[in-house]
Amino acid sequence: MALLDSIFGKKKKEFRASCKITKEPLEKGFGYLLTTSQIVASKKYWDMIMTEPETLSYTVSHFKNQASGTQMRSMIFEKYASVDKPWIVSDSIINYFDVDKGAAKEGAKKWWELEGNYAPTNTGPANSTLDPQSFQTWKNYAILEAGREKVK
């Protein structure tokens, strides 16, 4: 087998990616690269996450003052806020975030060139990249307020 590989040359598997939020496939060189702190600092993002079909029941429970719903929302927040790698996201979701799109697009280009092995500065979990007051503000919004308009 090694002989056949050397004769015909084993093809390197093509690097592929999909949006970390929508799961849609991304064409090579496209998308935007965001940090976890940029993701966490978005009301639109949290409103979407907390009202998806998989999480809506927890949101409804939370707003009915059921502790189990609030606890699950807290776990959802921690899951997303603790991501230590950058997020590659698609054109369809970038407007959920208040970011410099040019810089995010440049970051994505570098990320593609290095096949996912590039991380912009300030990459890491939100609790270590946001100042404590901002982190707490976004945590409170995500857990206590996100999705209120859709379920009230």
User: What pLDDT, on a 0 to 100 scale, did the predictor assign at position 2?
Assistant: 55
* Token reading at 96: 């959920």
Please name the residue that has the structure tokens 């970011």: 99
Please name the residue that has the structure tokens 């056949």: 4
Mean pLDDT of 33-50: 98
Output the average pLDDT for the chain: 93
Is 0.85 topped by the overall pTM?
yes
* Count helices and strands in the chain by DSSP H and E runs: 9, 4
d(CA 90, CA 32): 6
Question: Is residue 20 over pLDDT 80?
Answer: yes
Q: Which amino acid is at 5?
A: D
The tens digit of pLDDT for each residue in 95-141 reads 999 999 999 999 999 999 999 999 999 999 999 999 999 999 999 99
User: What pLDDT, on a 0 to 100 scale, did the predictor assign at position 8?
Assistant: 61
